[in-house]
Amino acid sequence: MSAYSPGLLQPRPPLAETADLTTREFIQFRDLIHEETGIFLGDSKRMLLHGRLLRRVRELGLPCFGDYFELVKRPGEHAEFVRMMDLVTTNETQFFREPHHFDYLEQKALPEWVAAAAAGERDKRLRVWSAGCSSGEEPYSIAMVLLSHFPRQQGWSVDILASDLSTRVLETARSATWPIEKAARIPERFLKRFMLKGVDAREGELRAGREIRDVIRFERINLADDPRPEGGPFDIILCRNVLIYFSAERRAEVADNMISQLKPVGLFLVGHAESLRSDGRLVCVYPTIYRTPSLRSKESLRPVESDERKWRRP
């Protein structure tokens, strides 16, 4: 018997090992996912969707993918839809991904903000949104950089919102614990100051230290809902390797909403395979790095050379 309301699903034979996701079923799932989240699954993703949903369909004792579709779209079954999206979404990340982003921050943007605060031209509150944070490596990376440049003892405050659609990866991010192999991608100066190495029962694990854990908060956010999360407007928005999963129309809508939540002279960082249209609200200062136009000299918008020696490549 199903764990769900009796009578709504009639008992049928168990799902066969070779059961296929029909074209009709794939289109139903694809359209539902696109409507609810903005993520678009092209025809090439049919086998991927089949593989990721098959186990869950079996766990529920359902005879076919069509019955699972009826379940996830049913009013009152939002929790199952969230679980389905945990299975569907791809969450791949690492510490200090896209090294040139961190080069730009340390060489250009952050020194400018320090100087602006000293001149009384900005406050000492830094607000960051890591959208599509996956298992947390991105927000913890940016936390290390910001806390190195903006010490609390000098009156600075750093607040980082880390969001994702997947509850599964958010739990990993909240735990702030990863395999020790992840440490290889963290610059040594940050590794020694901010990270902890597991001992005894925790041997083989890496954990974020209290200093960076305290400045990050996690929240499940669906970017397709045009959210306006608490804590904005933001100095930096990282939306890296996320926009590529949206259809072209929804991609523009999501980007527009997020750009509207940037502070003056704020930064919008995207992934290496992404770009944003130029409509006057943002200036591209380096590939994949966009900035709201400065009221000061245009000299501040010149790109910098990336010092690749500072960062380990994947």
List, for residues 126-167, the tens digit of each pLDDT value. Answer: 999 999 999 999 999 999 999 999 999 999 999 999 999 888
Give the closest residue to 158 by CA, choosing from 216, 110, 113. 216
Task: State yes or no: is 52 an active-site residue.
Answer: yes
Do 236 and 122 share a domain, yes or no? yes
Do 243 and 116 share a domain, yes or no? yes
Question: From the candidates 164, 185, 240, 291, which is the catalytic residue?
Answer: 164
Q: Which domain holds residue 193?
A: 99-310
Question: From the candidates 52, 125, 168, 213, which is the catalytic residue?
Answer: 52
Do 104 and 58 share a domain, yes or no? no
| Domain's final residue, options 36, 68, 88 | 88
> How many domains does the structure of the chain reveal?
2
**Segment 224-260, tens digit of pLDDT:** 899 999 988 999 999 998 888 888 888 889 999 999 9
Q: Is residue 310 pLDDT above 70, yes or no?
A: no
Do 123 and 244 share a domain, yes or no? yes
**Segment 187-229, tens digit of pLDDT:** 999 999 999 999 899 999 999 999 999 999 999 999 989 999 9
Do 210 and 115 share a domain, yes or no? yes
Do 69 and 143 share a domain, yes or no? no
CB 195 within 8 A of CB 141: no
Do 305 and 244 share a domain, yes or no? yes
Task: State yes or no: is 12 an active-site residue.
Answer: no
Residue 37 lies in a domain: yes
Q: State the pLDDT confidence band at 305, using cuts at 50, 70 and 90.
A: very low
Of residues 273 and 25, the one with the higher pLDDT is: 25
Do 244 and 213 share a domain, yes or no? yes
pTM, whole model, 2 decimals? Answer: 0.78
Indicate which CATH number applies to the domain containing 249. 3.40.50.150
Q: Is 43 exposed, middle or buried (0-12, 13-18, 19+ CB in 10 A)?
A: exposed
Token pair for 25: 């079923």
Indicate which CATH number applies to the domain containing 41. 1.10.155.10
At 188, the amino acid letter reads E
Token pair for 97: 């991904």
Mean of pLDDT over the chain: 85
Do 141 and 57 share a domain, yes or no? no
| Domain's final residue, options 88, 117, 134 | 88
Residue 73 lies in a domain: yes
Q: Is residue 301 pLDDT above 60, yes or no?
A: no
Q: Is residue 9 pLDDT above 90, yes or no?
A: no
Q: Is residue 108 pLDDT above 70, yes or no?
A: yes
CA 47/CA 235 separation, integer angstroms: 40
Do 131 and 206 share a domain, yes or no? yes
Per-residue model confidence (pLDDT) at position 11: 45
Per-residue model confidence (pLDDT) at position 123: 94
CB 127 within 8 A of CB 237: no
Token pair for 74: 């049913």
Residue 94 lies in a domain: no
Do 37 and 153 share a domain, yes or no? no
Per-residue model confidence (pLDDT) at position 88: 85
Residue 9 lies in a domain: no
Do 173 and 272 share a domain, yes or no? yes
Residue 192 lies in a domain: yes
Residue 213 lies in a domain: yes
CA 33/CA 85 separation, integer angstroms: 8
User: Cβ–Cβ contacts within 10 Å for residue 205, how many?
Assistant: 17
Residue 288 lies in a domain: yes
At 250, the amino acid letter reads R
Residue 18 lies in a domain: no
